[in-house]
A = this chain, B = another copy of it.
């Protein structure tokens, strides 16, 4: 449980799946925190000082400890505020697999579902098909479960949730692509609505229209590059 004298600050950006998922973890753990919004094109000197290697949000500052990167921050939160809702699986193998799929989402799915789709050098149809092939791995992972974490929202739910329905799907929406149709992905669609029913998650969903606009702008930049 967070002590009163503790200081927890999060440097984040409203549209970033990497920082929104950290907020999900803090809220689910019931950890009070001060949120410092970064205006991304104009990074603050505080961000550059705290994350000199990557210069990126999120950065968690817990008392005198400074930690970048969402996966590491969430695991740190899980181990530091141990008594409330566990986030990572306890079993070493299950934990490793949760981390495996999280990396898969932040690398493969992000690359295919965004950059490859927007550039679409082999054509958009191919890019959609390749993205859906990757999403099918996740469809299988969540089959028969309320959440990737089982009965409750866990690490993989935070990573996948922040990245897929609340970020990439806004890009797909802006491009007029139905990437996760109910007929093809019944389990993922069920999971998305389960996620939206959880208050701590719902509070971390970026405003839909604003996110569609942001993602569309990034896509246009990539296309014109």
- A interface vs B, CB < 8 Å? 53, 65, 67-69, 72-73, 75-76, 79-80, 92-93, 95-97, 99-100, 103-104, 108, 137
Contact = CB atoms under 8 A, between A and B. Distances in A.
B53 A108 contact: yes
B53 A76 contact: no
Nearest to A98: B72
A65 B80 CA distance: 29
B92 A53 contact: no
| Max chain B C-beta neighbours (<10 A), residue from A65, A72, A93, A96 | A96
Given A69-B100, A76-B93, 20 more contacts: A53-B104, A53-B108, A53-B137, A65-B93, A67-B93, A67-B96, A67-B97, A67-B100, A69-B103, A72-B96, A72-B99, A72-B100, A73-B96, A75-B92, A75-B96, A76-B92, A76-B96, A79-B92, A79-B95, A80-B92
A75 B213 CA distance: 40
A95 B73 CA distance: 11
8 contacts: A53-B137, A65-B93, A67-B93, A69-B103, A72-B96, A75-B92, A76-B93, A80-B92
A160 B76 CA distance: 22
A32 B95 CA distance: 23
Contacts of A100: 67-69, 72
Contacts of A75: 92, 96
A26 to B, nearest CB: 15
A215 B19 CA distance: 38
